[in-house]
Amino acid sequence: MTFKFAGVRSLLVVLIATAAACSRQPAPVAAPAPDPHAAAQSAWTDYAARFIEDYFKSHPFFAVQSGRHEFDGQMTDLSAAGIAKDVEQLKKARAEAAAFDATALTPDQEFEREYVLSVIDRDLFWLDRARSPFTNPAWYIDQIDPEVYLSRDYAPLEKRLKGYIGYAQSIPQIAADVRANLHTPLPKSLLERGIAGFGGYAEFYRHDAPKAFASVQDPAAQKELADADRAAAMAMDDLKSWLISERKNATDAFALGEPLFAEMLKATEQVDVPIAELAATGRADLDRNTQALKEACAQFLPKGTLRACVDKMGAHKSKGGAVEGARAQLADLRAFIIAKKIVTIPSTEQALVAEAPPYMRGNFAYINIPGPYDKGVSYTYNISPPDASWSAKERAAYVPGEASLLYTTVHEVWPGHFQQFLHANRNPSKIAGLWVGYAYAEGWAHYGEEMMWEEGLGNGDAEQHVGQLTNALLRDVRFLSAIGLHTQGMTLEQSEQLFRESAFSDPGNARQQAARGTYDPAYLNYTLGKLMIRKLRADWVAKQAGADAAGDPKQYWQGFHDKFLSYGGPPIPLVRKAMLGEGGSLL
């Protein structure tokens, strides 16, 4: 009995304890409420991906240049109907992006949305407001550059040849579209750029393209290449001949006019500053750099004129020519950046150096950049030889001195475009990698020249400082020429004189630079971008330093440079807002 009683009691105790334990269990927790913004954020992710794919379908050659080689051989429809369709699609895409509720997106998505809107606004300005395909032959020269198939080693040459053949087979139709689209009479300087550019393409198709693919051992492909190049060359010859025939009707009416020029700055760079204020800012930077040149020349050529000082610097050429000279400068510049901790280098990639092809010699130097979808593809820094039609004296003067060439290499490679695109091409946002703006890219590269001197490149050598300053003065005169040519009635001759007298340019460069201002009115973006970056740096460093007013501001520069390059390449006012949380003064 005792046992049975004890067992029952034990059972009751267990049951009571179990019941008590159950009564103490927490009440079921309700499932968290769904994020009300999740749908909008998911929808934006879908929109951004669709925007890229739709853009590639409308601009397949841009897709190829971006590294999407399933589009190889396809070309963008450059007919008037094709351009009108493009404008319509861009306007539709803009309305969709603008309709997103910014408050429902993540901060990164909201920035990306603003980025997309800026890309669309820029395209719409050139296509729909400036009407560049109908007024400017130079617009087409960049649209049909086949470099991607020749020097970008994304695939074996045999495969790239197939893509190139498709490209070349499209050229006769594109040439017909160009002739149908351009409204005559054309301004003389724009006409001459078209003659030189299309004539250069004809020579390229006839002579350079066959050499580039000569090693491909495929008779059928070689015949197809020869046929395509022959037709392409003839089409460019015909286009060149037509433009030559239009010389008798050419005008001097290249100016956009102040309203459209101001609209250009706002639509393409989000810069809404009165033209008179911009001009004063450019003049102040020209004066600042001229004064610095006087001080450098007082050391480099005491008692000499500024012209004589610049000529002395220019006479000291790189051994082996500009291409070899630039190639020799690359390792030292990279080592300097690392030693000074100027900016983080995100990879071990190196840039190649080559002579620019004949059809792309409108400027002394530029770099070809692989796209963000390309993997393991080389970057190529191109340097143009002087025009063979110039006099021997002009050809010799065109090749820069070693010190000036150094800062051109800074601009194009370390820490300029090459460094910047190493970052942009790795950006987690493909929007940021695909679309890098004019003022962002050229502003950064030009900013890098002065920043490298400030960091001690050259150890205070006066000749090197003269080289850096002549590059700065050239960009200052571009800034003032763009404003003058398009808003103040400046003539081509007056612009050329300004390059010679204020930038100390040789005659060939002065002619080339003045002419460029008529067909590239946005080339003020070199100095405009530089000045916006310098102002942003000063404001950002001041915010980081806080009470450390006595500290060296340069200790913050690497952080600033890394942060700035993390955005890809949107309009700089967008970067300013992201880095400082407010707009503030741009300049």
Q: What are phi and psi of 31, to 5 degrees?
A: -60, 140
Predicted local distance difference test score (pLDDT) of residue 10: 38
Dihedral, CA atoms, 48, 119, 61, 207, nearest 10 degrees? Answer: -150
Q: What are phi and psi of 251, to 5 degrees?
A: -120, 180
Which amino acid type is present at position 266?
Answer: K
Q: Which domain holds residue 225?
A: 40-249
Do both 466 and 359 map to the same domain? yes
Of 201, 217, 249, the one marking the end of a domain is: 249
Residue 398 pLDDT class (50, 70, 90 cuts): confident
- Is the pLDDT at 382 greater than 70? The verdict is yes
- Is the pLDDT at 134 greater than 90? The verdict is yes
In a domain, 307, yes or no: no
Do both 48 and 169 map to the same domain? yes
Q: How far apart are CA 93 and CA 496, in angstroms?
A: 42
In a domain, 457, yes or no: yes
Q: Are 516 and 363 in contact (CB under 8 A)?
A: yes
Mean pLDDT of the region 431-435: 97
DSSP 110: H
Helix boundaries (H) for 182-321? 188-203, 209-212, 219-245, 258-269, 275-300, 306-315
Predicted local distance difference test score (pLDDT) of residue 388: 84
- Is the pLDDT at 576 greater than 50? The verdict is yes
Q: What is the pLDDT of residues 511-558, one digit of tens each?
A: 999 999 999 999 999 999 999 999 999 999 998 887 566 678 899 999
Do both 232 and 125 map to the same domain? yes
Do both 220 and 137 map to the same domain? yes
In a domain, 504, yes or no: yes
In a domain, 551, yes or no: no
CA atoms within 13 A on the CB side of 373: 18
Task: Bin 167: left if φ > 0, else alpha if -120 < ψ < 50, else beta.
Answer: alpha
In a domain, 75, yes or no: yes
User: How many angstroms from the chain centroid is the CA of residue 130?
Assistant: 20
Q: Are 138 and 193 in contact (CB under 8 A)?
A: yes
Return the percentage of the chain with pLDDT > 70, whole number.
Answer: 93
Q: What are phi and psi of 508, to 5 degrees?
A: -65, -45
DSSP 44: H
Q: Is the dihedral of CA 294, 300, 306, 311 positive or negative?
A: negative
- Is the pLDDT at 2 greater than 60? The verdict is no
For strands 379-383 and 351-355, give the pairing. parallel
Do both 381 and 525 map to the same domain? yes
- Is the pLDDT at 8 greater than 60? The verdict is no
- Is the pLDDT at 24 greater than 80? The verdict is no
| DSSP helix/strand/coil, 222 | helix
Do both 195 and 325 map to the same domain? no
DSSP strand E in 502-570: where? none
Residue 272 pLDDT class (50, 70, 90 cuts): very high
Residue 200 pLDDT class (50, 70, 90 cuts): very high
Residue 493, number of CB atoms within 10 A of its CB: 10
Do both 244 and 351 map to the same domain? no
CA atoms within 13 A on the CB side of 29: 4
Q: What is the pLDDT of residues 51-88, one digit of tens each?
A: 999 999 999 999 999 999 999 999 999 999 999 999 99
In a domain, 344, yes or no: yes
Buried residues in 167-186 as b, exposed as e (16+ CB within 10 A): bbbbbbebbebbeebbeeeb
Q: Are 378 and 405 in contact (CB under 8 A)?
A: no
Predicted local distance difference test score (pLDDT) of residue 490: 98
Q: How far apart are CA 298 and CA 462, in angstroms?
A: 9
- Is the pLDDT at 451 greater than 70? The verdict is yes
Q: Is the dihedral of CA 345, 349, 352, 357 positive or negative?
A: negative
Do both 244 and 323 map to the same domain? no
Do both 329 and 235 map to the same domain? no
CA atoms within 13 A on the CB side of 93: 28
Mean pLDDT of the region 253-270: 98
Those residues whose C-beta lies under 8 Å from the C-beta of residue 191, and which sit 6 or more positions away, are: 137, 243, 246, 247, 250
User: How many angstroms from the chain centroid is the CA of residue 524?
Assistant: 14
**Omega before 219 within 30 of 0, i.e. cis:** no
The pair of three-digit structure tokens given for residue 269, joined into one six-digit string: 């760079």
- Is the pLDDT at 393 greater than 90? The verdict is no
Predicted local distance difference test score (pLDDT) of residue 390: 86
Do both 326 and 235 map to the same domain? no
Q: If you average pLDDT over each of 3-17, 284-298, 351-365, which comes out highest?
A: 284-298
- Is the pLDDT at 1 greater than 70? The verdict is no
Mean pLDDT of the region 189-209: 95
Q: Are 209 and 374 in contact (CB under 8 A)?
A: no
Mean pLDDT of the region 148-155: 91
Q: Are 327 and 405 in contact (CB under 8 A)?
A: no
CA atoms within 13 A on the CB side of 343: 24
What secondary structure does DSSP assign to 344-358, as a single string?
Answer: -------EEEEEPPG
In a domain, 20, yes or no: no
| Structural domain total, the chain | 2
In a domain, 287, yes or no: no
Q: Does the model's pTM come out above 0.75?
A: yes
Return the percentage of the chain with pLDDT > 90, whole number.
Answer: 83
Do both 211 and 89 map to the same domain? yes
Of 191, 214, 249, the one marking the end of a domain is: 249
Mean pLDDT of the region 490-510: 95
Q: How far apart are CA 173 and CA 76, in angstroms?
A: 11
Predicted local distance difference test score (pLDDT) of residue 550: 62
Of 497, 512, 531, the one marking the end of a domain is: 531
| DSSP helix/strand/coil, 365 | strand
Do both 478 and 330 map to the same domain? yes
Predicted local distance difference test score (pLDDT) of residue 11: 32
